[in-house]
Chain A
Amino acid sequence: MKLMDLGLLYGLLGFGCACVMLWRRNDVGGTWLDAVLLAGFWPVYGPFLLAKLQGSDDGPEDSEVAFLAALRRARGTPLAALLPDPQTASALARRLRVASGKVQEIDAILARPEFQAKEAVDRHKDLIDRAASECAVSTAAIRIQNIRRLQALRDRFSRELDEVEELLNQLRTQAEVVRLAGVAGDETRDLVQELVSRVEGLDRMLDDDPHLCGADDSRRVFDEKLARSEGPRGDGWGR
């Protein structure tokens, strides 16, 4: 592809983006100036308008940013001696990001039609009423189980994140108090320790989750039932 072709393609894409923006002007709240900027420099300006369209531009700051910001504010106070070093803080912040990401991921999964708990329960009841095969009934039961596991996991992560957020708010206010008072008391030390241990505990949650520990057992039961219902096939299907 020659430079002229590349330029033409770039210009066409920019023109298309500007047209879409003008078409969705009410949603984006854009002006002609936005359209011109978008047409000329869509890779730079596009993500901002797209975020506006998705309504995620002015959302609350994410937990990782809030965590690092709270530590940074506290670093300029006598609390600094109690805080984790920058590398540890970054590692802790990453754990928060993973946990937040998991909540979003689970939310997205639970929004899918095949993960609707009510529908899964209805389907299970329907299969029982119709005296369907044992395999079909147990499959429907496992589906319900999986949905409940995901819901439980999401609730746990969400609860932990809420608690971390509250601790961060407390750390922010405590940092201001310590900055003005000049001395960090025992309760401040406890607060920092609790915050760090909470964040450290986030990535252990997956391993500790009793629901997830049982996932392999459920799969094994399902496979055994499936093999029984189909009789000896000898091709290893279902294992």
Chain B
Amino acid sequence: MSTLAYPVSSPSPVWQSIDQLLRDVPGVLDRIRDGRDLATLARAMMITIACGAGVFGAAMGTYRGEVQILYAAVKLPCVLLLTLAVCAPALTALNRAIGRSGCLRRDIALVLSALARSSLVLAAQAPIVLLAVQTGATYHQVVLVVVACCALAGAVGLGFFLRGLRARELGGLWTVAPALFVVFVLVGAQMSWTLRPFLLRPRTPEVPVLRSVEGSFFEAVARSTLSARGIYLRDEAPLPTRSVGER
């Protein structure tokens, strides 16, 4: 079992858990597998997600500025945690269904830790988004930067999650992991669609907390695909036409 010795002056168990997540991944996985002090771990991971994803959300919000910084900083952690709230029982059910050991608390702790690690990676990449915004990147360029950052963070989190599943039990790993991945992607996509906007054009006159629910994420993807092929379902775009000198 891999554990780190912490100095006596460590401020709190929450900070110790975050430190452990950064420096001692096998120790975190052992702790989850053995079910040791999971409440403290969960609290620490939720705080990490709130801070890490919040920083990245705030960086996205700077593209529009003003109150959108706050909105995006609050909404991005909510997307991650609410998606987890919907998906974690599915992980336990999947584990149980195929005969693996399934424990709701351990499963939630594992996904929380994976998301917390992703959030830390997101926070580390926030300066890249800020740099893109400050160097005058266009809306679509910033979107691409954000997508690349999220993809990298997601890959790190997925790696952690797979390690956690493998550490607990090998059998059925390649059934549970892809199934949960699909569930998480679908729920996460719809959740982020429901809590949009995160990235707003600077010319947007008013900053909404949430946009009205217009269909689903998947309908929007289908509509965008049609638009890309020159088939438009609307007479005009919802925003005013772009003026000279505007990003």
Contacts and interface: CB of A to CB of B under 8 A. Distances in A.
Interface string A74-102: 00000000000011011101100100000
Contacts, number: 82
A43 B88 contact: yes
For the complex of A and B, the 9 pairs showing the least CB-CB separation, nearest first, are A90-B171, A43-B85, A86-B170, A48-B39, A61-B34, A48-B42, A41-B81, A44-B85, A47-B105
Nearest to B42: A48
B213 interface: yes
18 contacts: A37-B46, A44-B81, A44-B88, A47-B105, A48-B42, A57-B35, A58-B35, A61-B35, A64-B101, A65-B168, A69-B34, A72-B167, A86-B170, A90-B99, A90-B100, A91-B171, A93-B169, A94-B99
Contacts of A3: 194, 213
B37 interface: yes
B30 to A, nearest CB: 8
Interface of A: 3, 33-34, 37, 40-41, 43-45, 47-49, 51-52, 57-59, 61-62, 64-65, 68-69, 72, 86-87, 89-91, 93-94, 97
Contacts of A72: 167
A33 B213 CA distance: 31
B131 interface: no
Contact of B42 (A44, A89, A94): A44
B140 to A, nearest CB: 29
A48 B39 CA distance: 5
A3 B42 CA distance: 28
Contacts of A52: 39
A51 B104 CA distance: 11
Given A47-B108, A48-B105, A58-B36, A68 B43 contact: no
B34 A41 contact: no
Contacts of B99: 90, 94
Q: Bin chain B's interface residue count.
A: 20 to 34
Contacts of B213: 3
Contact of A65 (B33, B78, B108, B170): B33
B82 interface: yes
Given A34-B43, A44-B88, A57-B39, A86 B34 contact: no
B21 interface: no
A113 B237 CA distance: 71
A51 B42 CA distance: 12
Contacts of B108: 44, 47-48
Contacts of B82: 41
B72 interface: no
Contacts of B34: 61, 65, 69
Contacts of B84: 44
A208 to B, nearest CB: 24
A37 B50 CA distance: 10
Contact of A58 (B37, B81, B100): B37
B157 to A, nearest CB: 16
A41 B85 contact: yes
Contacts of B104: 47
